[in-house]
């Protein structure tokens, strides 16, 4: 039987429900967040500590080093502004050399240096101590294959020796001089004059890039792609080479497992790289096939007189096994030398003209010296009587 006291207790609210009712009646709902204040304070303190610690790393490393992301946020900021001025300031602050630390999940870790002593040590004094390595060869292998930029040890020395001998030959110097004079007078100057006469603005770096691309293709393959022509046409081979280069560089900032998975699935930049390399290979194969047919019907005197481009030179050589080089190896050699001469010269000339524009007094001195040299040459020219 239930007593009267038990019946009364059954109608009484328990203490927890009573507290909730009191809180609901007397504490506004917007103040309920106060119970989470301590957690927010701890999270805020952690964020502040990480930020201070990362920013303090700038004193020792040159750039803030963030957890997981490394120096990537600083790099993203530098790309958005004037990247060259930004990286120059960092190098000056670090006495010419600093180590870039990328995100934990990427391979973007490298040493950035502008110290001539380091460059001489790497590229001359102790060059053999710094091979490209398997990681580099895997990353650029699809585009560069077994060319000089992707070779080590004896393979690199053999290609460099052959190319060096050819670069210092009279025929090669004559070829480069004649091709460059032809491109400057018949293409570069008309393009610039047309822009001036029609008050048109031109991308000087793009124009110079087309100039060097035509020139280096004539040196490497012995063919003229015709990039620097009136109207600045879009050349498929040049476009494919540019796209392949960009996609290859992107691999260095992408985790290896990700870009390899993208290559396997044929997605994104890897799909673009595959299509671009197919176009580059097709162009190279056509040139090599045509050159072999030409050489097969030429006499030895004609071969000696006209065989000055790198493709023809390497076609006349033999490998370690005593057999002529394969078409794939010839393609790799030419593509590597196109890459070597294409961007370097055009970017250097672009900076040169930009510096001239920024320093008019230097421009006047160069013009005065040029006029003096030309006048001296004219005065010393022998006259026929």
Q: Which domain holds residue 333?
A: 154-379
H or E element in which residue 111 lies: strand 109-113
Q: Is 101 helix (H, G, I), strand (E, B) or coil?
A: strand
Percentage of the residues of the chain whose pLDDT score is greater than 90: 25
Q: Are residues 228 and 97 in the same domain?
A: no
- State the pLDDT confidence band at 300, using cuts at 50, 70 and 90: low
Closest CA to 351 of 239, 205, 138: 205
User: pLDDT tens-digit profile of 108-140?
Assistant: 788 999 999 999 999 889 988 888 888 888 999
Measured CA to CA, the distance from residue 248 to residue 22 in angstroms comes to: 67
Q: Are residues 348 and 210 in the same domain?
A: yes
H or E element in which residue 97 lies: strand 97-101
**Which DSSP category does 151 fall into?**
-
What is the model's pLDDT at position 29? 55
| 52-61, 79-88, 361-370: least confidently modelled range | 52-61
Tokens at 130, concatenated? 């710094």
Q: Are residues 285 and 196 in the same domain?
A: yes
CATH of the domain at 165: 1.10.630.10
| 229-233, 248-252, 274-278, 349-353: least confidently modelled range | 229-233
Q: Is 338 helix (H, G, I), strand (E, B) or coil?
A: helix
**Is 150:137 a contact under the CB 8 Å cutoff?**
yes
Q: Are residues 210 and 290 in the same domain?
A: yes
31 in a domain, yes or no? no
Q: Are residues 211 and 325 in the same domain?
A: yes
CB neighbourhood size of 69 (10 A) = 19
Q: Are residues 274 and 336 in the same domain?
A: yes
Over range 86-90, report the average pLDDT.
Answer: 89
**Which DSSP category does 185 fall into?**
I
Q: Are residues 161 and 227 in the same domain?
A: yes
Q: Are residues 75 and 165 in the same domain?
A: no
43 in a domain, yes or no? no
Please name the residues in contact with 220: beta carbons below 8 A apart, sequence gap of 6 or more.
309, 310, 311, 333, 334, 337, 338, 341
**Is 325:314 a contact under the CB 8 Å cutoff?**
yes
Q: Are residues 209 and 249 in the same domain?
A: yes
Phi, psi (5° rounding) for residue 213?
Answer: -65, -45
**Which DSSP category does 323 fall into?**
S
User: pLDDT tens-digit profile of 322-357?
Assistant: 788 888 888 998 888 888 888 888 889 999 999 999
**Is 222:309 a contact under the CB 8 Å cutoff?**
yes
- State the pLDDT confidence band at 243, using cuts at 50, 70 and 90: very high
**Is 346:180 a contact under the CB 8 Å cutoff?**
no
Percentage of the residues of the chain whose pLDDT score is greater than 70: 86
**Is 144:335 a contact under the CB 8 Å cutoff?**
yes
Over range 261-290, report the average pLDDT.
Answer: 92
- Does the pLDDT of residue 16 top 50, yes or no? no
Measured CA to CA, the distance from residue 162 to residue 159 in angstroms comes to: 5
Q: Based on the structure, what is the number of domains in the chain?
A: 2
- Final residue of a domain: which of 130, 163, 194? 130
CB neighbourhood size of 376 (10 A) = 10
**Mean pLDDT score across all residues of the chain:** 82
Buried b (16+ CB within 10 A) or exposed e, 156-167: beebeebbeebe
Measured CA to CA, the distance from residue 320 to residue 318 in angstroms comes to: 7
Q: Are residues 98 and 169 in the same domain?
A: no
Q: Are residues 370 and 307 in the same domain?
A: yes
What is the model's pLDDT at position 1? 46
| 31-40, 104-113, 150-159, 332-341: least confidently modelled range | 31-40
Residue found by looking up tokens 């900032």 in the block: 253
What is the model's pLDDT at position 254? 83
What is the model's pLDDT at position 36? 60
Q: Are residues 161 and 309 in the same domain?
A: yes
């Amino acid at each position: 039987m239930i007593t009267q006291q038990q019946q009364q207790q059954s109608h009484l609210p328990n203490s927890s429900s009573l507290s909730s009712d009191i809180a609901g009646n007397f504490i506004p709902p917007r103040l309920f967040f106060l119970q989470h204040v301590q957690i927010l304070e701890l999270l805020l303190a952690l964020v502040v500590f990480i930020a201070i610690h990362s920013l303090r790393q700038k004193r020792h490393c040159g750039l803030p080093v963030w957890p997981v992301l490394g120096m990537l946020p600083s790099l993203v900021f530098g790309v958005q502004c004037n990247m060259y001025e930004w990286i120059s300031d960092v190098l000056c602050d670090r006495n010419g050399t600093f180590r870039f630390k990328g995100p934990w999940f990427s391979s973007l870790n490298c040493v950035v240096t502008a110290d001539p002593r380091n460059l001489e040590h790497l590229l001359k004094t102790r060059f053999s101590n710094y091979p490209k390595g398997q990681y580099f060869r895997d990353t650029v292998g699809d585009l560069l294959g077994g060319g000089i930029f992707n070779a080590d040890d004896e393979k690199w020395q053999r290609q460099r020796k052959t190319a060096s001998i050819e670069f210092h030959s009279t025929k090669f110097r004559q070829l480069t001089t004649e091709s460059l004079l032809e491109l400057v007078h018949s293409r570069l100057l008309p393009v610039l004059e047309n822009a001036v006469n029609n008050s048109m603005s031109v991308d000087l770096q793009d124009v110079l890039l087309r100039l060097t691309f035509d020139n280096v293709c004539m040196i490497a393959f012995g063919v003229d792609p015709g990039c620097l022509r009136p109207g600045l046409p879009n050349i498929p081979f040049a476009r494919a080479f540019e796209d392949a280069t960009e996609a290859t560089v992107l691999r260095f900032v992408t985790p290896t497992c990700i870009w390899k998975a993208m290559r396997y699935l044929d997605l994104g930049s890897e799909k673009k790289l595959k299509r671009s390399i197919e176009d580059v290979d097709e162009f190279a194969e056509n040139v090599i096939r045509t050159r072999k047919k030409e050489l097969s019907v030429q006499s030895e005197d004609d071969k000696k007189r006209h065989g000055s481009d790198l493709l023809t030179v390497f076609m006349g050589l033999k490998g370690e096994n005593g057999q002529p080089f394969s078409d794939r190896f010839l393609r790799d050699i030419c593509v590597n030398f196109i890459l070597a001469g294409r961007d370097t010269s055009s970017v250097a000339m672009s900076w040169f003209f930009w510096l001239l524009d920024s320093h008019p007094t230097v421009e006047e001195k160069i013009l005065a010296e040029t006029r003096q040299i030309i006048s001296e040459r004219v005065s010393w020219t022998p006259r026929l009587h």
